[in-house]
Amino acid sequence: MRVAEIAGAGLSGLALACRLAQLGWTVNLHERSPELRMFGAGIWLWENGLKSLKLIGAHDAAVRRARYINEWRVSNGRGDTLASRPMTGDDKLLLPPRADLYEALIERAQALGVNIFTSSPVASVRKEGVLVLESGEERKADLVIAADGAHSRLREGLQATRFIDYGIEIGVRMMIDSSPDDPEDIIHEYWNGPWRLLYNPCTDGQTYVFLSVPIESERGKRLPIDQELWLEKFPAAAGIISRFGDVAGRWDRIVNVRCRQWSDGKVALVGDAAHAMPPNLGQAANMAFTNAMALAEHVTNADDIPTALREWEKSQRPITNHVQRWSYVYGFVVGKWPEQMESLRSDFLRFVSNMEWFENGLNRGARFSPAGYLASLASKLTSNKDE
């Protein structure tokens, strides 16, 4: 049986661990933290991510409390609609709490026999297929994965980084109580200059709020949130802002990572370690899942792992680069557009959002089918017919 050693039990490491175990690998997953825990916010799951979760059998548990979103709407600070992205039955967006997704992946990994080691920090990886723990223990494997996040030290050990861009904004996330007047199926994104407020219906009782703030604003980064500031910027969202109160939130730098290559010998980078991107399209984890599904397909039954990993990158990199570029440009239009030309930006957005190339470009990642998904669907249909 082939062995994979994975560094990092975040969303990417867990999803890949599940798929490899499902395809017959022995999988050892190392997490540096003493516990497996996920920060409390929501997460957008698009079709590509949902299909990946179906493939590994984690879908139903992950979305058991999630809202089905029917529209992603962008407005100006006064609430006038600038763009709208409707969803359909086979082009869905769901919004579960992150913790539900994380727990579903952990449960599935355990059920598939993945060996999860907590308090097991990885010091380095070597291209001949060795993972070195901080304890000094060296573990040989057929495949070694660095899934240690955007600030990956293992990527740096391979000198694989092309650039890491810390961007011009920070993202604040929090969960607030829902109110009976809240829309249940519309994500509402308000823009005012470089400021942004996103209302995301998440579960029956809770609403996920994302705020993006220019990096130089001390007031914008304040926690608990400076309600007065946000009311000034977004009077149309007063009903949401009035519920910020003392809610615990957290802010993160928005990071964009490009690699020279995603693999070196028997070592591969997955998830944010390979392609962290601004969260503007809600696609980073979805792309990580899609890429993880493809990686597992490529290496399983491959005679030569380094060649299979290069083929994997060739097959996934163009779509990932596309999504990353669109996420980046989206953030650029929000954060860098001259404030005195705001009305021109509104006209621009109204105009392009009705164009086919824009719609296709924006949604190409969400509509990308993960490797192995159609084959698994076909085999399920055949076995149902035979019964």
Ligand X SMILES: Cc1cc2nc3c(=O)[nH]c(=O)nc-3n(C[C@H](O)[C@H](O)[C@H](O)COP(=O)(O)OP(=O)(O)OC[C@H]3O[C@@H](n4cnc5c(N)ncnc54)[C@H](O)[C@@H]3O)c2cc1C
* x/- track of binding to ligand X for residues 211-250 (CB under 6 A): ----------------------------------------
Q: Using CA atoms, how far apart are residues 327 and 111, in angstroms rounded to an integer?
A: 35
**122 makes contact with ligand X (CB under 6 A):** yes
Q: Can you say whether residue 128 is alpha, beta or left, with left for phi > 0 and alpha for psi between -120 and 50 degrees?
A: alpha
Binding residue for ligand X (CB under 6 A) from 4, 5, 11, 296? 11
Among 2-10, 63-71, 186-194, 378-386, which window interacts with ligand X (CB under 6 A)? 2-10
What is the Cα–Cα distance from 361 to 282, expressed in whole angstroms? 14
Report the residue closest to ligand X, judged by CB.
10
How does DSSP classify residue 236?
Answer: G
Residues 150-179 that bind ligand X (CB under 6 A): 153, 171, 173
335 part of the interface to ligand X, by CB under 6 A:
no
Q: Which is nearer to ligand X, 274 or 346 (CB)?
A: 274
279 part of the interface to ligand X, by CB under 6 A:
yes
Q: Give the distance, in angstroms, between the CA of residue 285 and the centroid of all CA atoms in the same chain.
A: 2
Nearer to ligand X, 154 or 346 (CB): 154
CA–CA separation, 230 and 195 (whole Å): 9
Residue 259 lies near ligand X (rule: CB under 6 A): no
- Nearest distance, CB of residue 296 and ligand X, angstroms: 15
Site size for ligand X (CB under 6 A): 32
**Token code pair at residue 259:** 């690699």
How far, in Å, CA of 175 to CA of 109, rounded? 27
| Part of the chain binding ligand X (CB under 6 A), chosen from 11-19, 61-69, 231-239, 342-350 | 11-19
- If you search the block for the tokens 């495949």, which residue do you land on? 143
Cis peptide before 224 (omega within 30 of 0): yes
Of these, 285, 299, 349, 362, which contacts ligand X (CB under 6 A)? Answer: 285
Residue from the set 21, 56, 106, 147 that interacts with ligand X by CB under 6 A = 147
SS3 267: strand
Copy the structure tokens of residue 326: 């669109």
Tell me: does residue 196 bind ligand X (CB under 6 A): no
Is residue 59 near ligand X by the rule CB under 6 A?
A: no
Q: In what order do the strands lie in the sheet with 130-133?
A: 122-126, 130-133, 138-140
CB of 345 to ligand X, least distance (A): 22
In terms of Cβ atoms closer than 10 Å to its own Cβ (0-12, 13-18, 19+), residue 340 is: exposed
Alpha carbon of residue 239 to chain centroid: 28
Contact between 31 and ligand X (CB under 6 A)? yes
Q: Does 297 bind ligand X (CB under 6 A)?
A: no
- Say whether residue 206 binds ligand X (CB under 6 A): no
The first and second tokens of residue 198, run together, are 């996103």
75 vs 286, beta carbon nearer ligand X: 286
Q: Which of residues 34-53 bind ligand X (CB under 6 A)?
A: 43-44
Element (H, E) at 299: helix 284-299
The answer to whether residue 77 forms part of the interface with ligand X (CB under 6 A) is no
How far is it, in rounded angstroms, from Cα 20 to Cα 53? 13
- For binding to ligand X (CB under 6 A), which residues are involved? 7-13, 30-33, 43-44, 121-122, 147-149, 153, 171, 173, 252, 271-273, 279, 282-286, 288
